[in-house]
Structure formats: C-alpha cells, structure tokens
Amino acid sequence: MANWLLKTEPDVFSIDDLAAAGKQGEPWNGIRNYQARNFLRDMTPGDRVLIYHSSCAEPGIVGEGEVISAPAPDPDALNPESPYYDPKSSADNNRWSVVQVRYIRHWPGVLSLKTLKAMPELENMALLRQARLSVSPVTDAEWQHLEQR
DNA sequence: GCCAACGTTGGC
DNA sequence: GCCAACGTTGGC
C-alpha cells in the first residue's frame, strides 16, 4: 500500500467536488506529464491520497481520498472534444492513464504550502523537491508528520 | 499578471 | 543527440 499526493486547482475541481461525487468517486483524468503518469501507473486500489489545492489563495493540503481503481488508459486522450485530447495517442497506443479516486475526508483547515516548507521532516518530500509535479509519492513517515500537524 | 522552473518540440 | 525556442505550471 502506498501514499500519494494529487494536486488540483479548486477552481476547476476541488475537494468539495470530490466529496460531492460520493462513493463512486471521480476519474483523476487529464494527467499529461510522464513523471506524474508513471506514478499514476504505480497506484493500487486502497492507496491513500492527499488532496492538494494549487493555483489558489492558500495552496496546501486540504484533505484525503482513496484510489478505488487500477490504472486504465485515459479515454479523454482519444476524444478530440476533450481539453485533454492528445493527437499522438490512439486506442492501440494511449500514452495516458487514469485512476478512479474517492473522497475520504477533509482535514481540519488548510495545511498550507508555507507550513509544509517550514517542516524540516518534509525536506525531502517530492512535492517540495520538485515544482510542477501534479502526482507525487508520499512516504509513511511524511504522512504521519502531516497528519499529526 | 509576472516570472522561475522545467518539460516538450523540432531543426540541425 | 543537442539544444534553442517555446509552452505550461503554479507560487507570489
């Protein structure tokens, strides 16, 4: 079992939207970065995910969800109508993947990026090490530090 | 809205 | 295969 962090822009899709989706969850689609996709492909049903709000007033961790499907080809990559359409993908060779994610809970308040940066235990956290990575791994130790915060 | 960081593309 | 140009992410 592994832990991950998923960035989302709350103006586009927030943790409240994920909560509203209920038990059946929501496809985490539109990942168009190879490194992020490779992490997606390592996901297993039951993995825990932190939900992180980016490009907003207070960027940070807002809650928690769960992976509820195995990785699958992302159908949006094949749909010319989709903003996530990728002309270089085909049914035979879809470059992109998607998993289904469901809401678990909000965390109390926003655990802000500023706070995360101030925690020495998180010095090596992938989120902080690498800007612009929308799917990243979280170690058990990191998760614990965050949860106890 | 600016711009740093960094990924991708394409000419050579 | 190199690397300049370009595009995108995301904090501020």
**Tens of pLDDT along A2-22?**
999 999 999 999 999 999 999
pTM here is 0.94
Percentages (nearest 5) of helix, strand, coil residues in chain A: 30, 30, 45
Nucleotides of C under 7 A from a protein CB: 8-12
Q: Is A66 helix (H, G, I), strand (E, B) or coil?
A: strand
Whose tokens are 């969850």? That residue is A25
Q: What is the pLDDT of residue A3?
A: 97
Q: What is the pLDDT of residues A28-62, one digit of tens each?
A: 999 999 999 999 999 999 999 999 999 999 999 99
Q: What is the pLDDT of residues A74-103, one digit of tens each?
A: 999 999 888 899 888 888 889 999 999 999
- The answer to whether strand B lies under 7 Å from the CB of residue A1 is no
A14 touches A59 (CB < 8 A)? no
Nearest nucleotide over every DNA/RNA strand to the A132 CA, judged by C1' = C9
Query: Alpha-carbon distance A16 to A12, whole Å?
Result: 11
